[in-house]
Structure 1
């Protein structure tokens, strides 16, 4: 515990525990599918002696329903395996509609109005984790209320992601407002954390000071991952994708590649398993039916603590994103580190300068965005010997153990926050 690391001198402590608020609308718990980055970081920081609370919505983005609150409840405090959550009610929505925008606005307003310091304690620092600016604006407002530092964590570069992937005009009034909010948050933040390794190039052009930007990538909680297990023996070579089924994920390319491979011969049949949910899933399932694909299986999302049992069925994994200018700043999807931790080769089909698969020699990189190139990569991987694929998988596991374990990421975050949280003498 960090309490043992607090050093006392005649002038007071030189290192102290902190009360950290993390505001992230989409933060999840391990009993749910989805995003558990902040749960894992919070758990590690709590182990180091800090107090950490997560403010999130009870409406689950993937499941599209309220998962925590009873009818009539506006909020609820809950400790999930030792990690405090303040769940806030927000309106339901489906797809990328006006109702989703209202859901975002509602969360920002509720986070400010229902912050509950009598339960969470007065914060020493407030961290707002965004894709959309309403989260950041709420966190910045809370930091001003309690006169503490504001840390902005950027997971997606909005509005650029909407412009590049959603085909929205950069001159749309809502996009112009979001650009103003982005620049405002860069100016007001004490520190900026980026999940994307090269996002500082964009942020500096938008007015952020380079010296306050730090890279803190996504990671993996290895305590939940089984030790290395070889893939199952069998006549079928299983390629798995586990994650969101959205516009950015380019799963049409998988279906088109599956059609190319469906009628091919070979020593082992190839099948694709797509696990998860998202706004494109129903359309993709209908497309697969119309194409007559019998080598593609769609599965429902599973809670985070169960996902590794499902991943163990795969011989290899798929990571792909649409071609878009925004990915020139890198990509750091959670699913990549889950894949690599399982000790399986990965087909990396993302046009990005940051490529852990290539760096660790843990799979095959596809630079051509065509379905044919993806089909060739799958075929080439399936044709390798079992020993060659296992060697790739072991290199993948070693890479995430060294660079992306949550204890190491939490230690890095702790150091960043300790630099900006003022020391206070204790009685």
Structure 2
């Protein structure tokens, strides 16, 4: 369904970011350069690499038209480049001179946001190249930024773990702790969650962090009622900090890259894992989907950028099968769910599920959080021997949450076991 079709190995140091326009791929690196490639033949453009920055380049992004490329660096500058000839259009210096970690264009190309290590965020006028507004987060470095599809809002993420929502006048509308150990990336889906009422924008936001989690949020906004942001769910799959996440252009997939060296592609509807890609040999620092075609780029501290191609027919077939299975499971009665639990070797959970009236529809909506909060199941995985020793010492609380365990029944994590077996099969050839 997805295959590796090309690898770029031109950078001399860690790859920090990659970005697509409709016809080009841009990559940037600790080696102080930005490189541009044509998507038609994967050849590097004649005027690449782009050289101006005097220190590491942390982020790069295209304007919606693809005519301008922005890059930002430890040197405290955000540079605008003409993608037709590689010429420098503007050099915008962060007012504080602090290292710039992230930059993003607004959807209408009128503004460019840049976030720095000292917590300052600047909105630049993308036509005049002048500073428009400036703000600052309470704590930490700014390392992530994303504009809502309508451009009325943008979100920043900090190394302290805070998600902050700003309006286009640089007014702080909301801030909350999203990831305990720091945010690393965030991205809006371009597709609305629902049509909603006139004037109501409802979109899905993804964030990831050093806590190894990817979280989905629902962001709603109206000029009358203002902003609403609600946590939806957490995606599992990575066993180490997640450094990057990005939605596909149609919003149907989310990709993530991690310190565990893997790339995971999720179905955003079911939140199931579609693919786990393990080609990189060091931390995966960046990932991006192309805007119009089923191409994925992933970059790593191994100094390479991989290009992956999806098979659209296989993808449609997989989604059709999954939708059929989901529809089938949705019709299960409580007894059907009990039978399924017994078949999975989870007979000890039958009484808990029955007590909570879990039928097929409820089963499909269960998350780790609902298992822990509503069904009072711990929801974490431990080594069996360690947990047996814990219980043997008369401990009756969760090692992770310190909450009282209503049951001392240990159930095997078959999903984790399968993931470990897949990893062993891949790495022990």
TM-score (norm 2): 0.27
Name the one with the larger helix percent.
Answer: 1
Name the one with the larger strand percent.
Answer: 2
TM-score (norm 1): 0.27
- RCO comparison, higher one (Cα < 8 Å, 6+): 1
